[in-house]
Amino acid sequence: MFDELSARFEDAVKGLKGQDKISDTNVEVALKDVRRALLEADVSLPVVKDFVADVREKAVGAEVVRGVSPDQKFIQVVHEQLVEVMGGDNAPLAKAAEAPTVVLMAGLQGAGKTTATAKLGLHLKDQGRRALMVGADVYRPAAIEQLKTLGGQIGVEVFSLGTEAKPEEIAAAGLAKAKEEGFDTLLVDTAGRLQIDTEMMEEMVRIRTAVQPDEVLLVVDSMIGQEAAELTRAFHDQVGITGAVLTKLDGDSRGGAALSIRKVSGQPIKFIGTGEKVEALQPFHPERMASRILGMGDVLTLVEKAQKEVELADVEKMQKKLQEATFDFSDFVQQMRLIKRMGSLGGLMKMIPGMNKLDDGILKQGEQQLKRIEAMIGSMTPKERENPDLLAGQPSRRRRIAAGSGHQPADVDKVLADFQKMRGFMQQMSRGGMPGMGGMPGM
């Protein structure tokens, strides 16, 4: 997948090798290569322009940490931008509060709608959901038969009214059946046309009105490259889409479509099709896709590791503070955030001996709780913040902090207790050092 694009990106960073930083001048050469790589991958021009501008802004003057070279940093920036353009996190299929969830499949003829409908039917079945597939493509010869055959293969029921009924009537009747018989999802396969035309759009709008879908998924053949931008825009403007399925990624598609859809519609790619078989459907993960496009997984791991090292250096700074007995409330919050970040780095926490001894309650503080703690700390006087012991045995101070931050005195007591615990832990670690840390893999 996207081999050529990967190779081009590799060329793009060559010029940065051996440089000691990313500067205004050397970055331009790399950006020119990125621009060329994207255009050759058939990404539409406006998308390319924005992409390059965003990478430029992030790369120039980016802080390059110890152990990471400018070319590696640049790769990371490009990777980050790819993830962003493709939508960040995976976007799952909508689930209506009240069943059935109604999903309309839209797109041009031959894009892979009927196949994708069956693939989704199977995907839902695998998740223990029960879908009803509706054959409302009354134009393409044999589309309904095709859906029935696929339905038979995967054991998912298909509803149709033949090719004489109107698509919106078929869809509405399918919805009535789904409600009556307790299906949790309705997948409506609609008719495409060879190109965007008014009739198709009007038909889609009529079906949309008839069944009020929770999802309108645009099925896009990834081979159409930059044309995906125009197609997506047309469907989004005229019908309104909530997501896309990108098909035929097993072919020699150059990648352009993957980068355009989200950018022009603001709607995410939710699934990708990677083959003709009904099993060949995967949830779309921008992060994984970006790594595949860049094909430089090892570099990304390296940059990530180096950044972890910087965070660990932070820990060392904290220890020093402790030795100097200046671990205060601001450090406490900073430390909690650090721990949270390390926790999200998967497994790193476990590598630090003693960490597991720290009360789970402290480690598992969610973002919400951290915000509350910050609010309380914000209500302290600078003196209290720097000198936590001032609060011991001083209920009036604690009451004032609680009132000032919209909490109960007991909440403040809890934070104080956590603070003491954390400080105790940090002191213990600073006395005994962090045994084994030097031996941490890759550190």
Task: Assess 114 for contact with ligand GDP (CB under 6 A).
Answer: yes
132 versus 278: smaller Cβ distance to ligand GDP: 278
Task: Assess 225 for contact with ligand GDP (CB under 6 A).
Answer: no
Q: Of 34-42, 76-84, 105-113, 342-350, which part binds ligand GDP (CB under 6 A)?
A: 105-113
Report residue 316 as tokens: 């060392």
Kindly tell me which residue out of 3, 50, 197, 276 binds ligand GDP, with binding defined by CB under 6 A: 276
Residue with tokens 């090892």: 298
Residue ranges at the known binding site: 107-114, 189-193, 247-250
> Strand, coil or helix: what is 49?
helix
Q: Helix 3-14 crosses helix 286-294 at what angle (to 10 degrees)? A: 70
Kindly tell me which residue out of 54, 84, 184, 250 binds ligand GDP, with binding defined by CB under 6 A: 250
Task: Assess 270 for contact with ligand GDP (CB under 6 A).
Answer: no
Task: Assess 248 for contact with ligand GDP (CB under 6 A).
Answer: yes
229 versus 246: smaller Cβ distance to ligand GDP: 246
Distance CA 30, CA 118 (A): 43
Kindly tell me which residue out of 69, 76, 274, 335 binds ligand GDP, with binding defined by CB under 6 A: 274
User: What are the DSSP calls for 157-181, one per residue?
Assistant: -EE--TTTS-HHHHHHHHHHHHHHH
Q: For the chain, what is the radius of gyration of the CA atoms?
A: 28
Alpha-carbon distances, residue 125 vs 143, 157, 207, 332 (angstroms): 22, 11, 25, 48
Position 339: which residue type? I
CB of 6 to ligand GDP, least distance (A): 20
CB of 44 to ligand GDP, least distance (A): 22
Dihedral (C-alpha) 21, 26, 28, 34: value to the nearest 10 degrees? -80
First CA to last CA across the chain, in angstroms? 33
Task: Assess 140 for contact with ligand GDP (CB under 6 A).
Answer: yes
CB of 249 to ligand GDP, least distance (A): 7
CB of 204 to ligand GDP, least distance (A): 13
Kindly tell me which residue out of 35, 58, 73, 113 binds ligand GDP, with binding defined by CB under 6 A: 113
Task: Assess 277 for contact with ligand GDP (CB under 6 A).
Answer: no
Report residue 142 as tokens: 């044999």
Task: Assess 192 for contact with ligand GDP (CB under 6 A).
Answer: yes
167 versus 388: smaller Cβ distance to ligand GDP: 167
The DSSP output letter for 112 is S
Distance CA 3, CA 386 (A): 55
Position 335: which residue type? Q
Residues in contact with ligand GDP, counted by CB under 6 A, come to a total of 21
Residues engaged in binding ligand GDP (CB under 6 A): 107, 109-115, 140, 143, 192, 219, 247-248, 250-251, 273-276, 280
